[in-house]
Amino acid sequence: MRHEKRFKVDESMVAKGIGLNVRVLSTPSLILAMEITAHECILPELSEFETTVGTGICMRHLKPTKIGEEFTVVAELIERNGRKLKFKVSAYDSQGKIGEGEHYRAIINKSEFESRLK
């Protein structure tokens, strides 16, 4: 399975938002885009009672992307072991690859998960 999603770097995604004075895509925002894309990749396989949660990520942020620029994240499911999922993730802007890595998610039952939080 493979899924692509486009994003546009806005003020909420820049490193300045985390206390730095730099107006480029922050690493936490890139990670979030990778998580969203991986989650959407597996959605067609889930029942209405299931969702996924992130369990880990190992990624490299290779180069900056300026505010106002668009970038695309690609998530590819490369391994499934029961409820455990492993994705290859990568991100590209108009200049080339900006990030790459592996992202791990787990399929959970929504109501069981929420009841454990109470």
Single out the residue of 96, 90, 94 nearest to residue 60, CA to CA: 90
Is 27 an active-site residue? yes
Among 4, 27, 69, 76, the one annotated catalytic:
27
Question: How many other C-beta atoms are found inside a 10 Å radius of the C-beta of residue 12?
Answer: 8
Among 35, 39, 52, 65, the one annotated catalytic:
35
Q: Is the dihedral of CA 101, 104, 81, 3 positive or negative?
A: negative
Is 39 an active-site residue? no
Among 37, 61, 65, 103, the one annotated catalytic:
61
Is 100 an active-site residue? no
Residues annotated as catalytic (active site), given as ranges: 27, 35, 61
